[in-house]
Structures are given as C-alpha cells and as structure tokens.
Structure 1
Amino acid sequence: MRTDHAGNPGRDGDTTGADGHDLRHHGDVEVRDGGPALTDLAVNVRADTPPVWLRERIAASLGGLAAYPDGRAARAAVAARHGLPVERVLLTAGAAEAFVLVARGLKIRQPVVVHPQFTEPEAALRDAGHAVGRVLLREEDGFRLDPGAVPEDADVVVVGNPTNPTSVLHPAASLVELARPGRTLVVDEAFMDAVPGERDALAGRTDVPGLVVLRSLTKTWGLAGLRIGYVLADPGTIAELSRAQPLWPVSTPALAAAEACVSPRALAEAGHAARRVAADRAHLVAGLREFEPDGLRVVEPADGPFVLVRLPRAAAVRDRLRGLGFAVRRGDTFPGLGEEWLRLAVRDRTTVNGFLQALDRAMAAAGS
C-alpha cells in the first residue's frame, strides 16, 4: 500500500489524471454503442430490474408531476429503515450527486481517496478545485485497507465498501479506525445491499465521528436512469450538504422509488437477491479459476456483485469478447490498476456459462 498524489486539480472539465487514468470512464460506455446484441457484464446494475411492482409504484407517481417534489415521506422512510432521525438523512439524485455535494459543500483542505475504487469521488473533488491525495491498495495485499496508510493530515477520506472494482469488503472495524476528530470519513456503500446481511455496514452508526455514508438505490433495483440515493451523516453535515443542493434535486418519481425501495417488502426482496448474487458469483469465480493455468487471476474473496480479474493481453481479450457478444469493463481507468485488469458483473448461471465459453475462445485467439 502506498500514498500517491493525483496531480493538479481538475480544470475546464479535465478529469484525466497526471497518470493518464480517465476518471469519467464508466461501464455504460462499454455497452452504449453495442446495441442489444451485446450481453452486458460491464455495468453493475442487477439484471432483470426494476421489478414490475416497483415500476407500477413509479408509474403511479406520474399523476403528481404538476406539483413540486415533496421529499418528506421518502426521507422519513429512509430514516426509519436505518433507525435514524430524519435530520441525519439527505436524499440525492444518485450517489454521484452526493460526491459532488461533499466536494463543494464541505470545507476541505487535504482530501484523500483510497484506490482502486469508483472514480467519481476524485473527479468531483478535482472539479471543485481540490488537489487530491491517493492511497493505492496493492494486489499483493489483496487490495485490503491498512488504516495506518492514510495520512494523518487528511481531513476528508473516501473509501468504498464493498469496493468497486475490487469487490473487497473491508471490515467495519478497519474503517472505524480511519475516523478521528476534524476528519470527514466518507464511506461509499452503494453496493452494500448486495452483501448478504449487509455485514460490515456502517449505515445507521451514530458513534463514529465525522462519518458520512452514501447509499445508492440504482444498482440493486435497476434505477440508474432515475437517479436516486441518499446520504447518512450527523445533522450538521447534512445541513452543509443540503445548502449545496439546488432546489427540488430529487424528482417525484425518484422519491416514490426511494420510499418503495426501503419498505419491508423491498428489503426482503433485496436480501433474497443478495443471496442469489452470492451463489451466482461463486459459480462465476469457480469457472474463472479454470483459466488460472493460462495466467488469469481472480481477486478473492469477492463480496460485491462483480469480480476483478487480471489476465494477459486483457485489452485484446476484451475486444474479442465484444466480437463474441459480451461487454466487460476495462480496468485501466481505475487508479492503481493497469491494462491487464477487467471487471466482470455477476449474472445468472446460464449467462455466466455462455460467457466462460466465449472467454475461452477470446483468450485462445488473443494468445495466437
């Protein structure tokens, strides 16, 4: 594990770091121009979502579009879901907006982002004019966090859990070690509801100083196009972030979705989906291990709805997989990773079996 610097603050929309990582490249780019012929293993949104009952709830909200959005019921529902007072909840247009609010709404001097992880936090900080420090987790350590590697003078620390793209779930105790007076600890739990039992979650904790937890409802429920998420933090921090928001930032349909997705029915369904994803992930990992003699390595243990792999000639393999009908996520846009890395979203066993056959062909062709 080592500490690095991300270069100069972003200017004029430049979010390519001094090391060449394109911080604004996301998985949707991999499938955007491929059409329906491509099977999507690049985007970490659960397949076959949103469910019919959720679409019906969202559709029912459309009759109220003439009125300005009223987020009180959704905010109260999210607060109740985590056992918190409403003053500790802020609804956002997805977790991505929350990163912008942190970057622009808080007083920041020395922000540090733990990589490899979702690149939007660093991009938002740089867009806001901040020079961003990096702590780079290492493959030989299993991309696991050593709290002691984070500089003491960091007043904002951002870390994902489970982390995109490594699929590593850091122990809650390790994250709590990062907290200290005068520091804001931002934990991105966008994929935590895909972890059975949400073990090691910090959402709902009020005993950790400076803790800010971000949650997304777009991944498990297939709502990336609707944009809905939320922030959990102490009331003072929530007030600061709220002041950085525009008026009515969350639409009426998104508010309806938020309220529905934290209902007891939804939580039970999400728990079932998390267990199914875990089984499908185990099937994918077992299949990928068959390629170890050919130089492929899976980052384990994996706890998210995706896995990270390293393999020879990954760029060529990715191109050949595309020709065979499968889109996967390149890994070299994540700080700390290079061209030999790919991220694979977990899908059902039938899809995984087809992908593994295509991977066999792609690796053979790329090696010829």
Structure 2
Amino acid sequence: MRTEGHDLRHHGDAEVRDDGSALVDLAVNVRADTPPGWLRERIADSLTGLAAYPDGRDARAAVARRHGLPVERVLLTAGAAEAFVLLARALKVRRPVVVHPQFTEPEAALRDAGHTVDRVLLRARDGFRLDPAAVPEDADLVVIGNPTNPTSVLHPAASIARLARPGRTLVVDEAFMDAVPDEREALAGRTDVPGLVVLRSLTKTWGLAGLRIGYVLAAPETIAELEQAQPLWPVSTPALAAAEACVSPRALAEAAHAAHRVAADRAHLVAGLEEFASDGLRVASPAEGPFVLVRLPRAAAVRRHLRTLGFAVRRGDTFPGLDEEWLRLAVRDRVTVNSFLQALDRALTLARHSDGGPAAR
C-alpha cells in the first residue's frame, strides 16, 4: 500500500529475505539469539496438545497478573499486527489520527478498513518529540508508538496521557517497551487514562515473529468489542504457551537484564556512528529503543553498498515524515557493531566515489 510515495507495507524483513547471500541483519528489530533454549522447550512441549482446540484462559490470566489487571482488560492476539486490524475494523471512529513517523501498519489497517486517516508529523528539528497540542481536538482515535519505531524516541507517559479525551480512543503501541530499562514511561497497567488502549508484542524481545503473539490492554468494553471481531481460536496453542512463559517471573527478569544490555550496546553503536559526523551522518537522539535512526547524505547508495559488504539495514523513506536520507539500524552486540562500522566506513567511501566526491577519509 502506497500513500504519498510511502510504502506502508514495507517492513524490515524485506531487507533480508529473498536474497541469495547471507546478510548480517541490522534491519529487523528482533533481539538476536532468540528465542532462548528454555522458551523453545516450552513451545515444543505444547505440541503434544495440538489435537485440542486452543484454550487461552491460562495465558490470558498470566498476562493479566503481569500487569496487575483483571482478565477482562486483556485480549490475546496473533501479534500486535492483528490488534491493529481489530481496532480498525471493530471501533466506530470518524477521524482517526496517526502520529508519524511510526510503525506504518496501524495506518495501513485503518485505510484497508475504509477510514480516511489524518497524520500528525513530528519533526527532526524537534527531536521527533510529541506536542500533544498538535493532535486535532476532534480526533476520536489517536495512535502513537512508545518508544517509537523508527525514531527510537521514548515519549514521557504524562505527555501521551495528555492526549486522552472523553470519547477518544488513545492507542499506544508499546511493542518495544520491554527493551527499555525499568519500562519507564510505560502506560501498560494504567486504568486511570480514559480511552487508553495499550498494545504489547512478545515477538521482538523473545524472537517469536514467526509464532505471532501479542496482546491488548484496555477497558473491558473495548476488549469485548475487539474480541467480537476476532475469528475463533485466533491464537495457536504454541503461541499461548509462549505468552504464558514470556510473562513469568523468570522471563521478566531475563528481559530486564536484556534491556540493560541493549542500552549498553546501543550506546556503543551511537558512539561509533558519531565518528562519521564529518560525513554528514547524524543520529536522532536520545535513542531509547533497540534501534537507532540516522540521517546521512546518499543514504540510499550507502545502503546498497552495505548490502554488497554483507549488511542489511532498514530504509527510512517508507515511513511518513522521513525521506531517502534516513536509515534505521537495529542494535546488535559489540562484535557485530564493530564489523558494521567498518563496513559503513567502506560504504561511505564507495558512495562518495560513485558521486565523484573526494577520496576516503
């Protein structure tokens, strides 16, 4: 789906699939070396129950306990992407607004459901920070990510809560919140914000993109509307087993540890990227997610050269509010980052030569 030149259905996996070579993946925001062995075992154990229809009661109760909520405020979904489709189809809205740049699937789902979607574009010169006053007062559905993909901005919870209004549904995509140390600025579990709908994904931190599991947290009446729009048995037995496992105390402790490790690895990546300031490279900062957004001249050429050098990164021009000078880079371990930075140095040199620019730094 293209709107105003933006391919809303382009995602990071397109950068690495259907390629004959083995690329080092900095395009997809799934944590490396996942799922862990203990989680794979839990999922494998669930296969003995495939003859029975899925029963999501235990997993739903586990998610509710994890956030201190009654089960009536929880809906399990086949990934956060299904939740966007349910919201677009089930809720009766007149003026939906999506705050961009952000994950494009919410807008695509709304358009597919026949809605006319308005955009609020956050600006690079403002650090892609939210100004609640920029959202039209008559918007009855507002969608925002936190931390936001691809900008890696972590908006203050208080700023997002200011978007709440009587008669408005406020959708906060927290797919990457468990990658933020202490999940600061999270709204999941809050019941004091009217119209709040929080989406969580278990695919990013736990490497379960192929299994499809996520959930919605909202008022019981909203959950009931979304549930009515779901097909029967929307979440498979293995995905339910994964959901229950991923909100266990052991998993939460592991995720918390991983969030601190990601923060350290991100700082290492950002420090390395800042060495290319003389090439015009700028990092959108402060980055708080498991990815960083960078702007640089000749970004499209640099991305192509990186592919020939064995690295895949995410193009930014498919996100409304960004153009072809933007790239998104997933945070990886220091060894991988160091190799990537060497390749980036070479790619920048090749891009300069192809433009007839000066020799290498």
Report TM bin, short chain: over 0.9
Deviations 1:152-197 (A, max 9, x none): 0100000000000000000000000000100000000000000000
SS at match of 1:231: strand
Question: Aligned AA for 1:308?
Answer: L
Deviations 1:298-330 (A, max 9, x none): 000000000000000000000000000000000
Alignment of 1:290-329 (within 5 A): 290-329=275-314
Q: 1:35 to 1:349 in 2, by over 3 A?
A: farther
Which residue, out of 87, 100, 109, partners 1:102?
87
Residues paired across the two proteins, number: 353
In the alignment, structure 1 segments of 5+ residues that lack a partner are 1-14
Q: CA offset at residue 33 of structure 1?
A: 1.9
Deviations 1:46-96 (A, max 9, x none): 000000000000000000000000000000000000000000000000000
Q: Which residue of 1 aligns with 2:100?
A: 115
Q: CA offset at residue 35 of structure 1?
A: 4.7
Which residue, out of 16, 29, 54, partners 2:2?
16
Q: Which residue of 2 aligns with 1:43?
A: 28
Provide the C-alpha distance between the structure 2 equivalents of 1:109 and 1:243, rounded to a whole number of angstroms.
20
SS at match of 2:171: strand
Q: Which residue of 2 aligns with 1:159?
A: 144
Q: Which residue of 2 aligns with 1:209?
A: 194
SS at match of 2:7: coil
Matched, 1:335 2:306: no
Which residue, out of 64, 88, 95, partners 2:49?
64
| Aligned residues with identical type, % of pairs | 85
Provide the C-alpha distance between the structure 1 equivalents of 2:96 and 2:108, rounded to a whole number of angstroms.
12
Deviations 1:135-159 (A, max 9, x none): 0000000000000000001000000
Q: CA offset at residue 293 of structure 1?
A: 1.0
Provide the C-alpha distance between the structure 2 equivalents of 1:134 and 1:328, rounded to a whole number of angstroms.
26
Which residue, out of 143, 157, 164, partners 2:128?
143
Provide the C-alpha distance between the structure 2 equivalents of 1:122 and 1:367, rounded to a whole number of angstroms.
36
Deviations 1:263-317 (A, max 9, x none): 0000000000000000000000000000011100000000000000000000000
SS at match of 1:44: coil
Q: Which residue of 2 aligns with 1:195?
A: 180
Provide the C-alpha distance between the structure 2 equivalents of 1:189 and 1:167, rounded to a whole number of angstroms.
12
In the alignment, structure 2 segments of 5+ residues that lack a partner are 354-361
Provide the C-alpha distance between the structure 1 equivalents of 2:93 and 2:44, rounded to a whole number of angstroms.
40
The two structures have a TM-score, normalised by structure 1, of 0.96
Matched, 1:268 2:259: no
SS at match of 1:290: helix
Provide the C-alpha distance between the structure 1 equivalents of 2:284 and 2:349, rounded to a whole number of angstroms.
22
Q: Which residue of 2 aligns with 1:30?
A: 15
Provide the C-alpha distance between the structure 1 equivalents of 2:74 and 2:202, rounded to a whole number of angstroms.
14
The two structures have a TM-score, normalised by structure 2, of 0.97
Task: Please tell me the root mean square deviation across aligned C-alpha atoms, in Å.
Answer: 0.5
Q: CA offset at residue 34 of structure 1?
A: 2.5
Matched, 1:360 2:345: yes
Q: Which residue of 2 aligns with 1:89?
A: 74
Q: 1:35 to 1:77 in 2, by over 3 A?
A: farther
Matched, 1:184 2:169: yes
Provide the C-alpha distance between the structure 2 equivalents of 1:223 and 1:294, rounded to a whole number of angstroms.
37
Provide the C-alpha distance between the structure 2 equivalents of 1:330 and 1:158, rounded to a whole number of angstroms.
22
SS at match of 1:37: coil
Provide the C-alpha distance between the structure 2 equivalents of 1:48 and 1:179, rounded to a whole number of angstroms.
38
Provide the C-alpha distance between the structure 2 equivalents of 1:34 and 1:160, rounded to a whole number of angstroms.
30
Deviations 1:344-365 (A, max 9, x none): 0000000000000000000011
Q: CA offset at residue 36 of structure 1?
A: 5.9
